[in-house]
């Protein structure tokens, strides 16, 4: 199988499994797991924050961040394609009782002026905006990397207007490698930052939420409330520690393969842009038909919509796999891989609305 659906599909390498096998563990709910304690200390240090919390998923990291930064009835501002607005099962409303204010950006990157305009003035009618969430790299935006000035300016504006800031860095290490700007520098303006071990870093499970110690302490309680307190979870923390030492620089290989894949697909007449990191989005006439046509050759892709596909490079995708995928796309009929149909013309106005 050549599984390009996500970078979450990787299996641990033999060396990672060895590190897991040899892990020292204890009961993490009692704070006794040395491997988790070490992972949390290393994560906090790498992000330039005081403390960190090991959680099962990126979704839980974001939801805990939203919970600790807000009160019920508050408003959270985020880009319209952001993960908590699109893929977290409405969790912010259920867990924190907040409303989300989606602001469209360009390829997932927010304009500072648009965020400024979205923050409502204090008024008895308004839900007070108390948190800005930024996503780097931006998944639906195409794996895009924020220019560091934009990250800084968005955080500075939010703080000036009295909002806290959270950086959803599920793929922050991809942004670090692509931009050559260190993780603690990218996260500098943000009160909290999360990152995933289970994506490009190749671990089976896990994410970290990093920030000031009092907020992380509160987050620990929210994690328990959500059922995310885990016991001898040092086996998974050991995978994370291994990945932070061995799987970061290699992300550049995933980015190179994503570029090679997109260039090959361009030659196969596919509507695709050159990616900045490891996420390749394609616009096609029929995404479900393309997905079905590739399946018998063992190629798995993710249909984001009826006309959009996502192909993700990762630890288990090598150069040979990229060639196989390009050849398979080349053979697909134009009727399904060609450009998406133009948007349907709006219906004519109803008879009663027509000028006489």
- Measured from the CB of residue 350, what is the shortest distance to ligand TLP in angstroms? 39
- Measured from the CB of residue 30, what is the shortest distance to ligand TLP in angstroms? 25
Closer to ligand TLP by CB, 275 or 332: give it.
Answer: 275
> What is the spatial distance between Cα 178 and Cα 313, in angstroms, rounded to a whole number?
14
**E strand map for 104-141:** 129-135
- Measured from the CB of residue 125, what is the shortest distance to ligand TLP in angstroms? 32
Closer to ligand TLP by CB, 59 or 130: give it.
Answer: 59
Residue by residue, what is the 3-state secondary structure of 282-341? EECCCHHHHHHHHHHHCEECEECCCCEEEEECCCCCCHHHHHHHHHHHHHCCHHHHCCCC
Closer to ligand TLP by CB, 195 or 329: give it.
Answer: 195
Closer to ligand TLP by CB, 161 or 288: give it.
Answer: 288
- Measured from the CB of residue 91, what is the shortest distance to ligand TLP in angstroms? 10
**E strand map for 5-144:** 51-55, 75-79, 99-103, 129-135
- Measured from the CB of residue 199, what is the shortest distance to ligand TLP in angstroms? 7
Contact yes or no for 291/303 (Cβ under 8 A) = yes
- Measured from the CB of residue 86, what is the shortest distance to ligand TLP in angstroms? 8
> What is the spatial distance between Cα 276 and Cα 259, in angstroms, rounded to a whole number?
8
Closer to ligand TLP by CB, 222 or 285: give it.
Answer: 222
Sequence-ordered list of residues with C-beta below 8 angstroms from that of 142, at least 6 positions apart, any chain = 107, 108, 273, 275, 276, 279, 281
- Measured from the CB of residue 303, what is the shortest distance to ligand TLP in angstroms? 12
- Measured from the CB of residue 285, what is the shortest distance to ligand TLP in angstroms? 23
> What is the spatial distance between Cα 68 and Cα 75, in angstroms, rounded to a whole number?
13
| Residue nearest to ligand TLP as judged by C-beta position | 58
Contact yes or no for 265/326 (Cβ under 8 A) = yes
Closer to ligand TLP by CB, 7 or 285: give it.
Answer: 7
- Measured from the CB of residue 217, what is the shortest distance to ligand TLP in angstroms? 22
Closer to ligand TLP by CB, 3 or 135: give it.
Answer: 135
Cα separations (Å) of 76 from 25, 70, 130?
Answer: 37, 8, 6
314, 193, 341, 297: which is closest to 254 by C-alpha?
A: 314
- Measured from the CB of residue 9, what is the shortest distance to ligand TLP in angstroms? 9
> What is the spatial distance between Cα 337 and Cα 201, in angstroms, rounded to a whole number?
31
Closer to ligand TLP by CB, 197 or 241: give it.
Answer: 197
Closer to ligand TLP by CB, 8 or 96: give it.
Answer: 8
Closer to ligand TLP by CB, 79 or 285: give it.
Answer: 79
Question: Residues in the site for ligand TLP, rule: CB under 6 A?
Answer: 6, 8, 57-59, 62, 83, 87, 135, 139, 168, 170, 196, 198, 207
Q: Which helix (H) or strand (E) holds 90?
A: none
Q: Which tokens go with 333?
A: 């009929």
> What is the spatial distance between Cα 189 and Cα 203, in angstroms, rounded to a whole number?
28
Residue in the block written with tokens 């990787």: 10
The distance from CA 227 to its chain's CA centroid, rounded to whole angstroms, is 22
């Amino acid at each position: 199988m050549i599984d390009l659906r996500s970078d979450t599909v990787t299996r641990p390498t033999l060396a990672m499994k060895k590190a897991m096998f040899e892990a020292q563990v204890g009961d993490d709910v009692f704070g006794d797991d040395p491997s988790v304690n070490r992972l949390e200390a290393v994560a906090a240090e790498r992000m330039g924050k005081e403390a960190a919390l090991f959680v099962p998923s990126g979704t839980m990291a974001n939801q805990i961040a939203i919970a600790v930064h807000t009160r019920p009835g508050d408003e959270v501002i985020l880009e319209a394609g952001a993960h908590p607005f699109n893929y977290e099962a409405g969790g912010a409303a259920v867990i924190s009782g907040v409303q989300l204010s989606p602001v469209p950006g360009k390829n997932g990157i927010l304009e500072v002026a648009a965020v400024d305009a979205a923050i409502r003035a204090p008024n008895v009618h308004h839900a007070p905006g108390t948190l800005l969430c930024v996503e780097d790299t931006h998944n639906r935006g195409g794996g895009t990397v924020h220019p560091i000035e934009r990250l800084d300016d968005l955080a500075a504006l939010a703080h000036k207007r009295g909002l806290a800031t959270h950086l959803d860095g599920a793929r922050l290490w991809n942004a670090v490698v692509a931009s050559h700007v260190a993780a603690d520098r990218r996260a500098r303006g943000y009160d909290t930052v999360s990152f995933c071990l289970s994506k490009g870093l190749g671990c089976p499970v896990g994410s970290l939420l990093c920030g000031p110690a009092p907020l992380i302490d509160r987050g620990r309680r929210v994690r328990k409330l959500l059922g995310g307190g885990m016991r001898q979870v040092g086996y998974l923390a050991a995978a994370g520690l291994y990945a932070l030492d061995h799987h970061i620089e290699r992300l550049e290989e995933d980015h190179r393969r994503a570029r090679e894949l997109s260039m090959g697909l361009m030659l196969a007449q596919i509507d695709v842009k050159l990616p900045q990191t490891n996420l390749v989005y394609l616009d096609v006439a029929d995404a479900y038909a393309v997905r079905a046509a590739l399946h018998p050759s063992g190629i798995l892709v993710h249909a984001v919509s009826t006309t959009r596909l996502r192909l993700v490079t990762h630890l288990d995708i090598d150069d040979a796999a990229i060639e196989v995928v390009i050849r398979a796309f080349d053979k697909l009929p134009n009727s399904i891989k060609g450009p998406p149909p133009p948007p349907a013309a709006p219906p004519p106005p109803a008879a009663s609305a027509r000028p006489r």
